[in-house]
Amino acid sequence: MKKSLPVLAAISVFCLFSFSLIYAQDAASSDGKEWQNAGGKFTDAEVQATLAKFPKELEYGVQHMGVRLRDGVELATTVFSPKGEGKWPTVYVCTPYGRKGGATKFPSVPSGSPFVCVVQDARGTGDSGGKPLADYISSENEIADTSDTIDWIAKQPWSNGRVGMTGGSGHGMAAAMAYYSKNPHLVVVRPDNSAGNTYLYWSFENGVRRKTYEWLTNRGMRKNDWPKPTLYSYDEQRWNKICDAATNNPTVYIGNDKWFNFFGDSALDFFEKFAPTGKVFLGVDAGAHGGHCDKGLKFKIKGPTTPAAPVPSFLDVLTGKSKPEKSQLVYSVLGDAGDPTAPGNIKKVVSSWPPASSPTKFYLTAQGGLTEKPAVAEGKREFAYDPAKPAPSLGGGWSFGNDPNGAVDQRPTAERADVLRFYSEPLAEPLEIAGKIKADLFVSTDATDTTFVVKLVDVYPDGQEILLREGIAMARYRNGLDKPSPVEVGKVFEMSFPCNSIAAVFNKGHKIGVFVTSSSSPSYEVHPNTYEPVSSPQGFKVANQTVYCSPKEASCVILPVVK
């Protein structure tokens, strides 16, 4: 998960390795203290990697210090700056993985264009203060922490007042959150394959704990698998106010993401919110997190159907050579992976998201069908969900390790009675969708709380059942995340929830598949089917679930069909 962009790691190592380049500066600010040995030791390999990135004519010095924030907490910070007099732009990385690892995220230093490199341990990690965060899941503190550091950078004698933040995956979280500060000195951020809001994109989905919740151990959280379900009270209105305040933002945002990345929707949600009034440049491609855990079908994506403007260079924006104005999203439309002549498998260029589409309901039938017309008679499908024997996660985007993510075949679950399958007739014409998928289920259960999972599947003529997206929701939140309540046993209730976003074309002759179950492990936490959390598997309860397919209780998925 510690994906590298290019560079500065090299700088840090080089400076510590070659004592001729290490020089002592005065304390950079009265609100920081210099640490003599806070940088630790860099390996020879790290030294060589850094040296390879530097123009030979440049000599850099290194300084370790604590930068004091508005609440008195000091963040361990290492500064690499060119020797001699001058004022330069600054590349800044704040990371929970340690400053040495964060240094690898710095871009190369071009000849004749030196810049200062600042790498910092995030609050409560590495050598920084703050101890483990009082609230592990909230990442709002990154907004103030990075803004305070940027203000500190702008006051230094070597700073020209222009700061850019970068980093991939966990290294980029602080950069993504810094955007919301609208700090006047922050001219550009580039958080690739990353997301800022820890609750929305790292740890929970529609109130259900995700496998990637475990990433919070990087922020000082102790690994805790019990009790289940994991509950968290999230202030959605507060976050919406933060987002509203960050519109009309002068900071340039550059990033990339993947359809099967566990927080791929963060890029699209961000673009939808900020592109109309900001300067946002994003790409969304096929594949999984970092590319190293993509075990699904490989899509051969061709170039854009319309010309794309060049993505501005992070360093060009930082130095003022590039001044981009109009937002741009370049996204891949997935198609038939086995047919190079099929529609899809192309890139499209837009300035707003989602593209124009028609929300189209596909209704589930009691016979296992999927139609554009609701049922005319009463019908239902039933299954028993045993949390001790959950349905497995097959593909999707649930991991940052070497796991089977991506567009993976779902046929291994074909014999499971707890996975309901619904199929359309073979398509007479290709069908393109682009945007967020939504589920609208009418269900009942004999449990006081449970979960429901919906999967969207592309069914190939040869029988492959290729997962495109899946989503989950917890019954207690059926009236909103801020209004949890137990389910009335046996009573029909409606669950409407988003199932993430995709852009894809179902080819002619393919079927649209929708699978409904109550578990997808380990992608999502196994729910015990109890309202009160339980402390061991002994508290698990088998839940008897019913999905209704009738004129009055018409369960469906809503697909954004592109006309």
Nearest-5° angle of CA 398, CA 403, CA 405?
A: 50
C-alpha torsion 46→18→81→145, nearest 10: 50
Helix (H) / strand (E) element for 242: namely: helix 236-245
Write down the pLDDT at residue 50. Answer: 53
- Residue 402, pLDDT above cutoff 80: no
Q: Are 40 and 100 in contact (CB under 8 A)?
A: yes
Write down the pLDDT at residue 23. Answer: 24
Neighbours of 537 (CB within 10 A): 12
* Tens-place pLDDT, residues 168-181: 888 899 999 999 99
DSSP string, 16-60: HH-GGG------S-TTEEEESSTT----HHHHHHHHTTS-TT--E
Write down the pLDDT at residue 307. Answer: 80
d(CA 142, CA 118): 16
d(CA 370, CA 413): 19
Expressed in percent and rounded to 5, the helix, strand and coil fractions of the chain are: 20, 35, 45
Percent of the chain's residues with pLDDT above 70: 89
Write down the pLDDT at residue 127. Answer: 86
The arithmetic mean of pLDDT across residues 361-376, rounded, is 95
Write down the pLDDT at residue 46. Answer: 58
Confidence of residue 331 (pLDDT cuts 50, 70, 90): very high
Q: What is the DSSP letter of 202?
A: I
- Residue 306, pLDDT above cutoff 90: no
Residue found under tokens 């390879």:
52
- Residue 33, pLDDT above cutoff 60: no
Nearest-5° angle of CA 374, CA 336, CA 420?
A: 40
CATH architecture of 9-194: 3-Layer(aba) Sandwich (3.40)
Per mean pLDDT, which range of 21-30, 87-96, 123-132, 254-263 is the poorest?
Answer: 21-30
Q: Please tell me which residue, 327 or 97, carries the higher pLDDT value.
A: 327
Q: Supply the mean pLDDT for the chain.
A: 87
Percent of the chain's residues with pLDDT above 90: 65
Q: Please tell me which residue, 363 or 37, carries the higher pLDDT value.
A: 363
Helix (H) / strand (E) element for 166: namely: strand 159-168
- Residue 256, pLDDT above cutoff 70: yes
Per mean pLDDT, which range of 160-164, 194-198, 342-346 is the poorest?
Answer: 194-198
Q: Please tell me which residue, 402 or 555, carries the higher pLDDT value.
A: 555
Write down the pLDDT at residue 35. Answer: 42
Confidence of residue 52 (pLDDT cuts 50, 70, 90): low
The arithmetic mean of pLDDT across residues 406-428, rounded, is 97
| Closest by Cα among 286, 26, 8 to 156 | 26
* Tens-place pLDDT, residues 446-493: 999 999 999 999 999 999 999 999 999 999 999 999 999 999 999 999
Write down the pLDDT at residue 291. Answer: 61
Confidence of residue 209 (pLDDT cuts 50, 70, 90): very high
Orientation angle between helical segments 9-17 and 44-51, nearest 10 degrees: 110
Write down the pLDDT at residue 562. Answer: 96
Confidence of residue 560 (pLDDT cuts 50, 70, 90): very high
Q: Do β-strands 88-95 and 116-121 pair in parallel, antiparallel, or remain unpaired?
A: parallel
Write down the pLDDT at residue 434. Answer: 98
d(CA 188, CA 311): 13
- Residue 28, pLDDT above cutoff 60: no
Give me the CATH topology for the region 358-561.
Jelly Rolls (2.60.120)
- Residue 224, pLDDT above cutoff 60: yes
Confidence of residue 270 (pLDDT cuts 50, 70, 90): very high
The arithmetic mean of pLDDT across residues 224-241, rounded, is 93
Radius of gyration of the chain (CA): 25
Q: Are 195 and 266 in contact (CB under 8 A)?
A: yes
Confidence of residue 363 (pLDDT cuts 50, 70, 90): very high
Write down the pLDDT at residue 38. Answer: 42
The three-state secondary structure class of 248 is: coil
The arithmetic mean of pLDDT across residues 122-146, rounded, is 87
Q: Are 495 and 471 in contact (CB under 8 A)?
A: no
Residue 388, Cβ density class (10 Å: 0-12 exposed, 13-18 middle, ≥19 buried): exposed
Write down the pLDDT at residue 101. Answer: 74
Q: Do β-strands 380-385 and 543-548 pair in parallel, antiparallel, or remain unpaired?
A: antiparallel
d(CA 279, CA 311): 11
* Tens-place pLDDT, residues 284-301: 998 888 665 667 888 999
d(CA 289, CA 301): 17
Domain ranges of the chain: 9-194, 358-561
d(CA 484, CA 474): 9
The three-state secondary structure class of 253 is: strand
Q: Which residues contact 480 (CB under 8 A, 6 or more apart)?
A: none
Write down the pLDDT at residue 64. Answer: 81
- Residue 500, pLDDT above cutoff 70: yes
Nearest-5° angle of CA 222, CA 227, CA 231?
A: 85
